[in-house]
């Protein structure tokens, strides 16, 4: 699971590491998992962002039109059928340094999840601009968790997230 294997210091906050592990294990409390555990009824299991299909972990981060719009806005285009466990396979634009690309991917995945929770629990309207802003702001915070020789990489992330707003 390359998403979790990182040779740099731990720039990810502990809760983001737990999120990543749950994501690649398909253990997030997605609506499909809640349906399987009979916590939700079938009529409550569609994606809260698009309403099109049952919300699985993979749909949430790659298949949902909302998630696809985030990836496309940063110049990445993972196939909608990509499994969440294969998140490390998402190719990113040249502007994202290879050394820190796994952190950038994780930052985007984390904020897709957080935004989904905001839609579900705080009744926010889905907003690509808000997700991009939150990714941008957290990128600048995560910068100080990176080793000194990789801190400048985050400026390229921030430029990518700040460009063409969404």
When comparing pLDDT for 162 and 40, which is higher? 40
First to last CA, the chain: 30
Chain centre distance of CA 6: 17
User: Among 31-40, 59-68, 106-115, 139-148, whose mean pLDDT is lowest?
Assistant: 139-148
Amino acid 6: pLDDT: 44
**Mean pLDDT for the chain overall:** 90
pLDDT tens for 92-137 read: 998 899 999 999 999 999 999 999 999 999 999 999 999 999 999 9
- Domain locations along the chain: 14-162
Alpha helices (H) in the chain, listed in sequence order: 14-24, 31-36, 57-58, 65-73, 101-121, 128-142, 153-162
pLDDT band at 11 (very low <50, low <70, confident <90, very high): low
Amino acid 163: pLDDT: 61
Chain centre distance of CA 158: 15
pLDDT tens for 45-65 read: 999 999 999 999 999 999 999
Contact 11, 145 (CB under 8 A): yes
pTM of the complete model: 0.89
pLDDT band at 10 (very low <50, low <70, confident <90, very high): low
Nearest Cα residue to 132 out of 101, 154, 111, 105: 111
* 5-19, 20-34, 143-157 — most confident range: 20-34
């Amino acid at each position: 699971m390359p998403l979790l294997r990182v040779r740099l210091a731990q720039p990810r906050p502990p809760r983001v590491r737990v999120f990543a592990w749950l994501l690649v294990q398909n253990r997030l409390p997605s609506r499909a998992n809640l349906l399987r555990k009979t916590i939700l009824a079938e009529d409550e299991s569609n994606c809260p962002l698009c309403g099109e299909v049952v919300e699985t972990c993979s749909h949430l981060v790659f298949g949902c039109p909302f998630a696809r719009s985030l990836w496309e806005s940063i110049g990445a285009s993972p196939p909608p059928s990509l499994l969440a466990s294969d998140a490390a396979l998402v190719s990113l634009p040249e502007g994202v340094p290879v050394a820190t690309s796994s952190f950038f991917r994780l930052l985007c995945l984390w904020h897709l999840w957080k935004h989904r929770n905001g839609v579900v629990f705080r009744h926010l309207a889905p907003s690509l601009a808000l997700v991009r802003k939150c990714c941008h702001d957290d990128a600048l915070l995560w910068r100080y968790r990176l080793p000194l020789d990789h801190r400048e990489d985050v400026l390229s992330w921030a430029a990518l997230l700040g460009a063409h707003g969404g």
